[in-house]
């Protein structure tokens, strides 16, 4: 393992991607890989690490003042993505060596994830641009953050009490239950007022009334698709429509949803325009929102996906456009 200072081997304009182990990524489908390849096309060296590779430490004895305050470092590996192959040897680098640090670790947003955002915040205080901003990653739960714009959503309740959830279900007849920490449609359940054992189901999803869940009125329009819209610095650059397969009501690609080319409606553009000021103000540079039948469903900020589908179906060079819009760093 090599240790380098801020002027070390990362390279001018270098990008660091904090991701899941790179061996798990599918280059043909993964949005992080699409961004890495776009960065390399733009002449920006690409490095990767994991949350386990982040650390806070003083400068090494041969690399600076040992009394200097702790900063954020990463055990990072350089990677050439064109063509795709495995990364090089690890180098211990201060995060100031990178023009931008991308936090692209997939959920769950667990203790390890939260601690990683605190370490990234150390780098941010030293002028490093982190995408997306660590404080916003902690504050914007991908389900609950939509409640800032509840009038754009389907009727929604967040609660842990079974009686409240049952009453909401009785009022709206058909609902969708969503765990607040879920991703890719995992744990999302359809229920109806007449569902046998509804009370037991509600006890199960709330862990015996100890965890809140989101319940929303079911939108039959989901059969026509759930639209993923990708926003870069608040501007929608592309979208893909995800249509459920067979008897499945969930449209997530991870559970078999089929991607289709699509255009944004005026209503969807208005939703994006309403969200844009808050996204920009809170440092949410790359975001994916989900819209069903003209209603806002979720705001994805951790590691939004869909780039490959937008590029393939819409002919939009979305990853290159994203890299071109990066803030100076």
Residues known to be catalytic = 143, 178, 228, 242, 250, 290, 298, 300
Residue environment code for 166-183, b if the CB has 16+ CB neighbours within 10 A, otherwise e: bebbeebebbbbbbebbb
Q: Tell me which DSSP letter residue 149 carries.
A: G
DSSP H helices in 4-97: 31-41
Tell which residue, 2, 9, 34, 24, has the closest CA to residue 311: 34
Secondary structure of residue 48 in the 3-state scheme:
strand
How many CB atoms are located within 10 Å of the residue 198 CB? Answer: 18
DSSP H helices in 56-133: 111-125
Tell which residue, 74, 86, 72, 96, has the closest CA to residue 17: 74
Q: Which residues contact 154 (CB under 8 A, 6 or more apart)?
A: 216, 217, 219, 292, 295, 297
Secondary structure of residue 118 in the 3-state scheme:
helix
Give me the residues paired with residue 295 across strands.
292
Contact (Cβ atoms closer than 8 angstroms) between residue 5 and residue 63: yes
Residue 21: Cβ-neighbour burial (10 angstroms; 0-12, 13-18, 19+): exposed
Q: Tell me which DSSP letter residue 235 carries.
A: E
Q: What is the DSSP string of 159-208?
A: ES-HHHHHHHHHHHSEEEEEETT--TTTT-EEEETT-TTHHHHHHHHTTT
């Amino acid at each position: 393992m090599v240790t380098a200072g801020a002027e070390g081997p990362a390279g001018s304009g270098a990008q660091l991607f904090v991701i899941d182990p790179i061996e798990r990524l599918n280059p043909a489908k993964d949005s992080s890989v699409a961004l890495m390849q776009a960065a390399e096309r733009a002449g920006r060296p690409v490095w990767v690490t994991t949350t386990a590779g982040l650390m806070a430490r003083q400068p090494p004895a041969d690399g600076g003042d040992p009394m200097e305050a702790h900063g954020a470092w990463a055990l990072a590996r350089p990677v050439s993505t064109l063509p795709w192959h495995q990364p090089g040897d690890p180098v211990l680098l201060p995060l100031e060596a990178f023009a931008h640090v991308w936090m692209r670790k997939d959920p769950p947003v667990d203790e390890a994830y939260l601690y990683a955002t605190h370490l990234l915040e150390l780098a941010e205080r030293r002028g490093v641009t982190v995408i997306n901003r660590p404080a916003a990653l902690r504050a914007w739960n991908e389900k609950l953050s939509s409640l800032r714009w509840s009038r754009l959503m389907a009727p929604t309740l967040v609660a842990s009490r079974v009686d409240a959830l049952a009453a909401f279900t009785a009022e709206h007849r058909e609902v969708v239950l969503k765990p607040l920490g879920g991703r890719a449609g995992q744990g999302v359940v359809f229920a109806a007022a007449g569902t046998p054992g509804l009370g037991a189901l509600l006890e199960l999803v709330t862990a015996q009334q100890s965890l809140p869940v989101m319940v929303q009125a079911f939108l039959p329009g989901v059969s026509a698709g759930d639209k993923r819209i990708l926003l870069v610095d608040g501007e929608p650059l592309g979208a893909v429509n995800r249509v459920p397969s067979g008897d499945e009501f969930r449209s997530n690609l991870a559970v078999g949803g089929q991607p289709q080319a699509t255009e944004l409606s005026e209503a969807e553009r208005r939703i994006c325009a309403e969200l844009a000021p808050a996204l920009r103000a809170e440092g949410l540079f790359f975001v994916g929102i989900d819209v069903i039948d003209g209603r806002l469903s979720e705001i994805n900020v951790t590691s939004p996906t869909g780039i490959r589908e937008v590029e393939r179906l819409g002919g939009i060079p979305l990853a290159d456009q994203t890299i071109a819009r990066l803030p100076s760093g």
